[in-house]
Chains A and B, each alone.
Chain A
């Protein structure tokens, strides 16, 4: 039993994370949402309408009446934004699929490594974070450009006759995304896989399952939570990724992150840019809700 006096203390413990969420997520989102519903304007704030705090109920109602969806209508009407949204989704989904295909065997190999090697392997996955993200992505330009390391190597091996055009294409963006986000796929997968009871694999093997079947029927299903966590951890930021498409993608690679940047800093149309930001949030929140639903249903099925 908890003493009565401990209760306010417990509420106090819950306060900081709530304050944090409120100050750095809810308030900024409310501001972004408000701006996205304001008059289109190529200027600095304030954006109309402005709430008249002294106006009481009347002030509120006139404020709410003045809000409108013009910016979202612009987004829906202009193929540029739709294409950017679809391209972002397609790239993020493709990259997630590639990350699963590469990350799963890497995480599995790490989890199966000897106890002495595992910390070393985890450190190797984390070490790139010591270098700035920007610099690591920038380095890929030197690798992928026509006279870069990759083409030079392939030419020397005689595998290609002329340099490949990789830089400034979607392929370069995919390579960049895969490279940059691999740790976020590997680490949650490894965390789950390294905790799987090896006896379960032995039992499967004892019951006649080949190593391939053991992996597909026992290891992978039990590692599913890590797989889903990794996929979300990669997919969500990749949808809004700006630096990688900006540095590695050509002008034809239109991802939402770049459109957002353009509206905010080139066109200075904050209301429209805010609408793009809200749209992106909706795209990203969708999979999370689906995942939560699936988890709840699976939890119920197990009961």
Chain B
């Protein structure tokens, strides 16, 4: 589809946030967020409710004005541009469908003023209805649609103007679980096909991991880390990110005195352990070692590693999770595929892990 809004736009970084801060009175909703969105990228903003992710979306859409910092689109500063002049569109969490208009008129609402003929408008609406698989629903009122159908009308309406960036606020939040998983895949496929940049706000880590090219983790107004799911999982920047994506063992300790290298020694209650560390930490700093349960290798009592005793075994189908009490009383979770050696409750085992798979984080 040809898009007048897109003509001549550079192909990289359609959206650039630089040091964006938003305060409401004394409350800082968004604090010093800088972010570059790549063209055609699917970015998820992930975080608990109240972390500022929705405010960030509203700042981009123009419903809120940043207290400081700038938001640029294709190299143009959006400051002072009202929402109706911004080449971004938003899909609202509540869908915000116009109750007094049919599905077709809802979708066509944004097409007015684009200089399309009546026939071209009808054609575009029809195409969008097909895209979201709602052919035949053109004349329905929103209150006569199911939740999933409403969600798709909202999506079609937000896509109608072919925005440079589509902002989606908890787009699947109102759907029930089975429909949500199905829709995640659909949304992802749709985004690939349209090659439009998506910024999706969600509080569901598995949803973010399923859909996103990159995930931006937010907490208390700050953007903690941006990266692909695997990167956030393997190399979390702090314990919040580590804990948000998947299960993790956090072992407290102090950084040893050895010189900075790819792996360093951490003095912990379990004894000295080696783990990979960033350079920003100095000897003696309080740290935690983040260790994923599936990175822990178990061995018999006679083997190498840290000594512990199995206190609980849970069969989860695709894997088996064991709780292991270490000699100092710390309980670690270890998980692995079934079918290996059977260490029942009460078995004495040895724990090992590759230093590269454990990450030293600031405490």
Interface residues, chain A, CB within 8 Å of chain B?
A: 197, 199-200, 202-211, 213, 217-218, 221-222, 302-303
Chain A binder among B86-94, B249-257, B308-316, B335-343: B86-94
* A218 contacts B98, C-beta separation under 8 Å: yes
Contact partner of A208 among B61, B100, B112, B143, CB < 8 A? B112
* A206 contacts B109, C-beta separation under 8 Å: no
Task: Pick the most buried of A197, A205, A207, A210: most chain B CB atoms within 10 A of its CB.
Answer: A207
Minimum Cβ distance to chain A for residue B25 (Å): 13
B127 at the A/B interface (Cβ < 8 Å)?
no
Minimum Cβ distance to chain A for residue B108 (Å): 10
Q: How far is the CA of A200 from the CA of B143 in the complex (A)?
A: 15
B283 at the A/B interface (Cβ < 8 Å)?
no
Judged by DSSP, the binding face of A is helix
- CB neighbours (8 Å) of A199 from chain B are 92, 94, 96
Inter-chain contact total with CB atoms closer than 8 Å: 60
* A202 contacts B92, C-beta separation under 8 Å: yes
- B68-102 vs A, CB cutoff 8 Å, 1 = contact: the mask equals 00000000000000111100011010101111100
- CB neighbours (8 Å) of A206 from chain B are 61, 63, 83-84, 89-90, 158
- CB neighbours (8 Å) of B99 from chain A are 222
B113 at the A/B interface (Cβ < 8 Å)?
yes
* A203 contacts B96, C-beta separation under 8 Å: yes
- CB neighbours (8 Å) of A217 from chain B are 109
B110 at the A/B interface (Cβ < 8 Å)?
yes
Nearest A residue to B109 via CB reads: A207
Number of interface residues of B (CB under 8 A): 27
Known contacts A202-B63, A202-B83, A302-B141; decide if A207 and B100 are in contact (CB<8 Å).
no
* A204 contacts B161, C-beta separation under 8 Å: no
- CB neighbours (8 Å) of B97 from chain A are 203
* A205 contacts B100, C-beta separation under 8 Å: no
* B157 contacts A207, C-beta separation under 8 Å: yes
Interface residues, chain B, CB within 8 Å of chain A?
A: 61, 63, 82-85, 89-90, 92, 94, 96-100, 109-110, 112-114, 141, 143-144, 157-158, 160-161
Q: How far is the CA of A218 from the CA of B160 in the complex (A)?
A: 18
* B82 contacts A205, C-beta separation under 8 Å: yes
* B83 contacts A205, C-beta separation under 8 Å: yes
With contacts A207-B158, A209-B113, A213-B112 known, what are 17 further pairs, Cβ within 8 A?
Answer: A199-B96, A202-B83, A202-B96, A203-B90, A203-B98, A204-B109, A205-B82, A205-B83, A207-B89, A207-B110, A207-B160, A207-B161, A208-B113, A208-B114, A208-B161, A211-B84, A222-B99
* B92 contacts A204, C-beta separation under 8 Å: no
Q: How far is the CA of A204 from the CA of B160 in the complex (A)?
A: 13
Q: How far is the CA of A207 from the CA of B113 in the complex (A)?
A: 10
Q: How far is the CA of A291 from the CA of B129 in the complex (A)?
A: 35
Known contacts A197-B96, A200-B96, A302-B143; decide if A209 and B90 are in contact (CB<8 Å).
no
CB<8 Å pairs between A and B, sample of 22: A197-B94, A199-B94, A200-B96, A202-B63, A202-B83, A203-B90, A203-B92, A203-B96, A204-B98, A204-B109, A205-B82, A205-B84, A206-B61, A206-B63, A206-B89, A207-B109, A207-B160, A208-B112, A209-B84, A209-B113, A222-B99, A302-B141
